[in-house]
Amino acid sequence: MKDNIQISGIRAYGYTGALPEEQVLGQWFEVTLTLWLDLSVAGQSDRLSDTHDYVSIVQATQQIIQSQKYALLEKLAEAIAQAALANDQRLTQVQVRLTKLTPPIPNFSGHITIEILRSASVCQ
């Protein structure tokens, strides 16, 4: 399916990281979600009920980042993907791009980003 909704710039302060201080002090994360679903019904009806309510997944993503502590970005991304797929049964796939904005690496001012793609059949 080619129809999708892209949501970028979801930011939240969380406590995921392999170092003990990351799970105590925390840091900022940014997420971009791509949600695959059939948008043709909404395109015809112009009704919010016929598409994905992206407000709920933005809030759920922020809540997961803020409240869950994991050692790995991969685990955090997986939790976000599973929440998105559980949030709306119309979703066929979700892509999660998760960025650690300030990784604690000496002499490194870049970002670390992981990207995962999950299908509804895997998470249900």
Helix (H) or strand (E) holding 105: none
Tell whether pTM > 0.85. yes
**pLDDT per residue as tens digits for the range 13-60:** 999 999 999 999 999 999 999 999 999 999 999 998 888 889 999 999
Nearest Cα residue to 79 out of 93, 69, 88: 69
What residue segments make up the domains of the chain, in order of their start?
4-112
Indicate which residues carry an active-site annotation.
Answer: 100
Where does 4-112 sit in CATH, by number? Answer: 3.30.1130.10
Q: What is the pLDDT of residues 70-82, one digit of tens each?
A: 999 999 999 999 9
Q: Is 25 exposed, middle or buried (0-12, 13-18, 19+ CB in 10 A)?
A: exposed
Residues with Cβ within 8 Å of 7's Cβ and at least 6 positions away in sequence, in order, are 32, 33, 34, 35, 54, 57, 58
Closest CA to 85 of 57, 64, 49, 115: 57
